[in-house]
Amino acid sequence: MKYKSVFDIIGPVMVGPSSSHTAGAARIGRMARKLLGSQPDRADITFYGSFAKTYKGHGSDVATVAGILDFDTFDLRLKDSPQIARDLGIEVNISVSDELTGHPNTSRIRLFAGEKQVEVVGVSIGGGKIEVIEINGFAFQLGFDTPTLMVLHEDRFGMIAGVAKVLKEHRINVGLMEVSRHERGSRALMAIETDSVVSPEVLAEISRIPHIFDVSLLSLT
């Protein structure tokens, strides 16, 4: 993840105290919420490394819950997020792990809503910026700073070309594409950063491609 301007280093407009431990934590939680697509019934949060050691003092727990509630980093409700979650009937479980990870500011979030669930592993890399490195077991390196098309599909010949054809027909430029799979021939997850918002009509067209299971558009901006 590269910083695009000095403002990325300074950090976002936020409720303190720390851009990496508070704003970054909130954004990881918010991305998990967006991937789930609805208010969860339960949230299981695990902190690693520096997050595990300092989450209470830096408010990483409060910030993560705020993100799960879909609050932005500057939302003044952030500090009251645990009580708001309780009032909404959301069960929140927080644990720490001494497992070594690739980055000290790492959290794993599992959200449940009825039969639906999502698991996200994210790292806070400083200045409020994040990288999502795992989604439901698929390995990635995504910041979600631009509109990102997520396509769950069968791992088979022609899937990337099929999606790219639709984007080309609608003159949508691709900035970055990553594809991750559990194993050859199983399911795969395609992530495509675009230079413009993809319309619902384009999403519907992509979803009609054979062997595609789910299509969504995500962004933290």
Domains 6-142 and 148-218 share a fold: no
Which pair of structure tokens corresponds to residue 41?
């019934």
What's the gap between Cα 118 and its chain centre? 10
Rounded Cα gap, residues 28 and 146, in angstroms: 15
Which residue would you say has higher pLDDT here, 104 or 166? 166
Q: What is the mean pLDDT of residues 30-35?
A: 95
Three-state DSSP state, 128? coil
Cis status, amide bond into 17, omega within 30 of 0: yes
Residue 81 is predicted with a pLDDT of: 96
Domain ranges of the chain: 6-142, 148-218
Q: What is the DSSP letter of 71?
A: -
Percent of the chain with pLDDT over 90: 74
pLDDT surpasses 70 at 130: yes
Tokens of 66: 């705020």
How large is the average pLDDT for residues 172-191? 94
Rounded distance, CA 216 to CA 106, Å? Answer: 25
- pLDDT band, residue 19 (cuts 50/70/90): low
**pLDDT attached to residue 1:** 43
**What is the C-alpha to C-alpha distance for residues 142 and 66, in angstroms, rounded to an integer?**
21
Q: Which pLDDT tens digit goes with each residue over 42-62?
A: 999 999 998 999 888 888 999
Using the structure block, give the residue that is written with the tokens 């990553």.
178
Fold of the CATH domain 6-142? 60s Ribosomal Protein L30; Chain: A; (3.30.1330)
The per-residue pLDDT for range 84-129, each reduced to its tens digit, is 999 999 999 999 999 988 888 999 999 999 999 999 999 998 878 8
pLDDT of residue 5 exceeding 70, the answer is: no
Which pLDDT score, from 0 to 100, does residue 13 have? 45
- Residue 174 near residue 219, CB atoms below 8 Å: no
Across the chain, where does the E strand assignment appear? 42-48, 91-97, 105-113, 116-126, 129-135, 138-142, 148-154, 174-181, 187-194, 212-218
Averaged over 69-74, what is the pLDDT? 90
Instruction: Categorize the per-residue pLDDT at 68 as very low, low, confident or very high, splitting at 50, 70 and 90.
Output: very high
Q: Which CATH number fits domain 148-218: 3.30.9.10, 3.40.50.720, 3.30.70.260, 3.10.20.90?
A: 3.30.70.260
pLDDT of residue 101: 84
The partner residues of 217 in beta bridges, in order of sequence, read 149
Report the pLDDT averaged over residues 19-46: 91
pLDDT (0 to 100) of residue 135: 97
The predicted pLDDT at position 168 comes to: 96
